[in-house]
Every structure is written in structure tokens, then in C-alpha cells.
Structure 1
Amino acid sequence: MKTIYTTMPSLLGTITIQANEYGLLGIWFETCTTKPGELGQRDSEHPVLSLAVVQLAEYFSGLRNEFDLPLAATGTAFQTQVWRALTTIPYGETWSYQDLANAIGNPKAVRAVGLANGRNPISIVVPCHRVIGKSGKLTGYAGGVERKQRLLALEQGTPL
């Protein structure tokens, strides 16, 4: 299956967006550890990629708090269950890993939920940055903890 990608600038650094014919496969900051080595063909005109760029720009400007984009990331059944649950965390709110485990109906799977959260390929749109430690501490983020802090601040009304 053919994959395509584009990049966009943001106040948090360059973002790479990848899609296929079904939807978004990934959104990564340049330092993300989960970005694949092969992205496919560059295509800034593709409708899904163009729409993603517009919606991300609106998000960073404080004009959008929900995304309406087709998602096509692949993972295990458990990972996709966790990623779906991530999309239910309201804008401007945070959940603990325990909250996320509870949301999928598996309260003992906190560690597994953490691993699945860390493998989420669609940053921002699938808001893994909204998951924090039980104590309220910001924990790891594939795009860097400083970016996570800035994304959460943006959602609390602090402009980037």
C-alpha cells in the first residue's frame, strides 16, 4: 500500500504527517523516536494531508480542540483499543495511566497501557500527551517532555 507524507512547521518544531489511502498513519515531531525510517512519497497536495495541516495549524492557534480526520494507524488489537480510548480524553484535561486502563475495562493493565500509549504514532490528534503519571507528574513523551508540557499548557489557554 502506497504511503505519502508532508511536513509542516510549528512553534514546537517541524512536524511530519504520513497517510495512506485510508487515512493518517502518523504525526511526528522531528525528534520523535517512533517515526519510521521510510515515509513514502512526498505529497503536500493530498486531501488527507492538506486537511491534517489545516487542522493542526488551527489547533496550534487555539482555534480547534477536536480533530475530524480519518485515522489508519496500525498496531495490535490492544494498542488500537488504547489509542481509541486516548481520543476520548477531553481537550484540556489529563488522565493517569490508571484512568486509561480503567477506560478500556482492564484496570490491571496499567503497564501495558503505558507501553501502548508510548507507541501511539499519531501525536496530538490521538492525544497521548494528555496522559500523565498518577501523581500528576509529566512522564515520557516520544516528542519530548518539554513539548508535552507546552501542548498541555496550550490546551489550558496559554498560547504557544
Structure 2
Amino acid sequence: MESVVVHTPLGFAEITGDENGLVSITVSDMERPLDIIPEVLEDAVHQLKEYFEGIRKTFDLTLNPQGTDFQKRVWEALLTIPFGKTVSYLELSKRLGDVKAIRAVAAANGKNPLWIVVPCHRVIGSNGDLVGYAGGLHRKKWLLEHESPSKQQTLF
């Protein structure tokens, strides 16, 4: 298993994976030394950089997250939420075929190991509130604003 730490606008992201795909992407405020990028992770680093530069809206990476079958179903459903769009936990539960599973869906969403690439930040409360994000609500807000199709334009 290889890993690399890269600096992003939201903190230091640690990317972990191997030839079978990405296993995790996590972020923290803790300053860490930047690493030499292992060849197997070069594409992931490049695509994340493009995302933050506003060039990339979708990722084309092999993913290999570890979790239960249910968690993997939820994470697959997250991949269907388009860039710049949000869905509620209730809507995500409906898409998975069980409206009563809303708490289990929320819990699986919170266990998503692939920050940004599997866009759990695009899931919000039924009333439109930003709720629950393992990386912190300030990061969720930043990501949703970054993906917003109606960014505030400067007048001058």
C-alpha cells in the first residue's frame, strides 16, 4: 500500500492506494511534510489538483474502498450525484430503495473513506441545512461553493 500527503486549499490530504485502486483520501489541518508521489498515486494527485483548480468536475480513478456491502452501495450511489448538485439523506435513502434506512445511509455516508472523489459532501439535510461531514462543516461549505454553478462574480 502506497500513500502520499499533498497540500490542498482545505488542508493536507493523505491519499492511500495501490495497483488495485484508491483505498482512502482523508484531510486534516495538521501540517505534514509533503511526500514524493508514488507512481501508482500520480493520477489521483493530478486529478485532485485539477478539481481544486476548477478544471475537473468528475474523477476517472479506480476505487477500492474497504467497507460493508451496504456501505459500498451507499458510496456507489454517491457517485451518481452530479457536480454542482445536492441531494438529501432522505432522497439518497429513496434511491437505495428503503426510505426507512435514512440513519443507516447517513452513517455509511459518514464512513466514506474517499473524500471528494466519492462526493459525500453533496448530501445535505432535507431542509437544505449542511449537516454531517467528517471533514468538518467548513470544508463541506467550501466544497459546495466551489462546485456551485452560480459563483459570485466580481463587479470590477
Classify 1:77/1:31 alpha carbon distance in 2 versus 1 (closer, same or farther; 3 Å): farther
Q: 1:102-122 deviations in whole A, cap 9, x for unaligned?
A: 111122100000000000000
Q: Per-residue deviation at 1:43?
A: 6.1
Unaligned segments of structure 1, at least 5 residues: 33-41
For residues 63-102 of structure 1, the aligned pairs below 5 Å read 63-102=55-94
In terms of mean alpha carbon deviation, does 13-22 or 82-91 score higher? 13-22
Q: Secondary structure at the match of 1:109?
A: helix
Do the aligned partners of 1:22 and 1:70 also contact (CA within 8 Å) in 2?
Answer: yes
Q: Flag the structure with more relative contact order, 1 or 2, with Cα contacts below 8 A and sequence separation at least 6.
A: 1
Report the equivalent of 1:112: 104
1:44 to 37, 49, 53: 37
2:25 counterpart (27, 36, 48): 27
Partner of 1:13: 11
Aligned-partner Cα distance in 2 for 1:52–1:21: 12
Give the C-alpha shift of residue 15 in structure 1: 0.6
Q: Which residue of 2 aligns with 1:139?
A: 131
Q: Which runs of 5+ in 2 are unaligned?
A: none
The structure with more radius of gyration = 2
Q: How many residues align?
A: 147
Query: What is the aligned-residue RMSD (CA, Å)?
Result: 1.6
Residue pair 2:3, 2:38 contacting (<8 A) in 1 also: no
- Taking structure 1 as reference, are residues 106 and 112 closer, same or farther at Cα in structure 2, changes over 3 Å only? same
Quickly say closer, same or farther: Cα 1:80–1:118, change in 2 above 3 A.
same
Please tell me whether the aligned partners of residues 26 and 73 of structure 1 are also in contact (alpha carbons under 8 angstroms). Answer: yes
Following TM superposition, the consecutive aligned residue runs of length 4 or more in structure 1 with deviations greater than 3 angstroms are none
Q: What's the secondary structure of 2:9's corresponding residue? A: coil
Distance in 1 between residues matched to 2:109 and 2:119, nearest whole Å: 9
Question: SS where residue 137 of structure 1 aligns?
Answer: coil
What is the TM-score when the length of structure 2 is the normalising length? 0.89
